[in-house]
Structure 1
């Protein structure tokens, strides 16, 4: 299969990580729901890469199930800061080096702490962005622990 060689893919290859590429048609504002439907997988297994910043403007990455949201209040409590909020798309792009909708936790331009929702590790396979819109890579969640310096958190809130 022909797929893009992004910074994320280079990092995965450097670590000899086991992954399977999945290329699909990107739909503006389609989100994880569109990705899951296109790949015929559960949205819970499609992992969002979200870039937040603290009230002190310190950026961080949160990996979250596609069908859940991040409780900013709980995340702030875990981080022991006053507040956290999602970065603007422009700032997220500048920090990560990826377009919003194509953000991967692997190979970011700026090194940021990575917080991963605990239950992601209960899944046999996850689908996470490969560094380009319309491009996911599937892997065992253990790859996150093997490559990224992560901290496990419990900050999920069900969508809707």
Structure 2
């Protein structure tokens, strides 16, 4: 995206700008079910640095956000054990949309409709720069992972398994 192109103004972007986060903007052609493999290829960055925002829920249907490397999966069994709950499952897309206020494929952890606990895969903090959804399909923002810590105060977890 050239510097002349204005990024889409989303709730996520408003939240990040309110906190003075230094960002890079990355627009790309969205591909239905393309996931982080597609976005990382389009942007020419490692898939490991593209962070997925996953809306999940426990057995009581209480929603939560999990931030995970693009090339890894969440062990829901390990996450449930870590959180001391019976089970964790991904929300159905329409339920995730309702909780987050975003459309699946464009879900950002910033500026969500409903305040939810956030869990961050600990190894994300080892990266210099991450690319995370800016609140719209085909739009990622690049930033330091330390900004995620500062703004969202997530609980650090180790629940990632090879994807």
* Bin for the TM-score computed over the shorter chain: over 0.9
Q: How many residues align?
A: 159
In the TM superposition, residue 149 of structure 1 has moved relative to its aligned partner by 2.1
Structure 2 stretches lacking a partner, 5+ long: none
Q: Aligned-pair distance for 1:25?
A: 0.6
- Correspondence for 1:128 among 123, 129, 132: 132
Name the structure 1 match of 2:36: 32
Matches within 5 A, 1:12-91: 12-91=16-95
Deviation of residue 55 (structure 1)? 0.3
Question: CA RMSD, aligned part only?
Answer: 0.5
- Point out 4+ residue stretches in structure 1 off by more than 2 angstroms: none
Shift of 1:3: 1.0
Give TM-score scaled by structure 1 length: 0.98
Is 1:10 aligned to 2:14, yes or no? yes
- TM-score computed with the length of structure 2 as normaliser: 0.97
> Could you say what secondary structure the match of 2:103 adopts?
coil
Q: Work out the CA distance in 2 between the residues paired with 1:56 and 1:20.
A: 38
Q: Structure 1 regions of 5+ residues with no counterpart?
A: none
Distance 2:62 2:82 in 1: 15
Structure-1 separation of matches of 2:153 and 2:35: 26
Residues 100-119 of structure 1 correspond to what in structure 2 (within 5 A)? 100-119=104-123
Q: Distance in 1 between matches of 2:44 and 2:56?
A: 29
Q: 2:156 aligns with which of 143, 148, 152?
A: 152
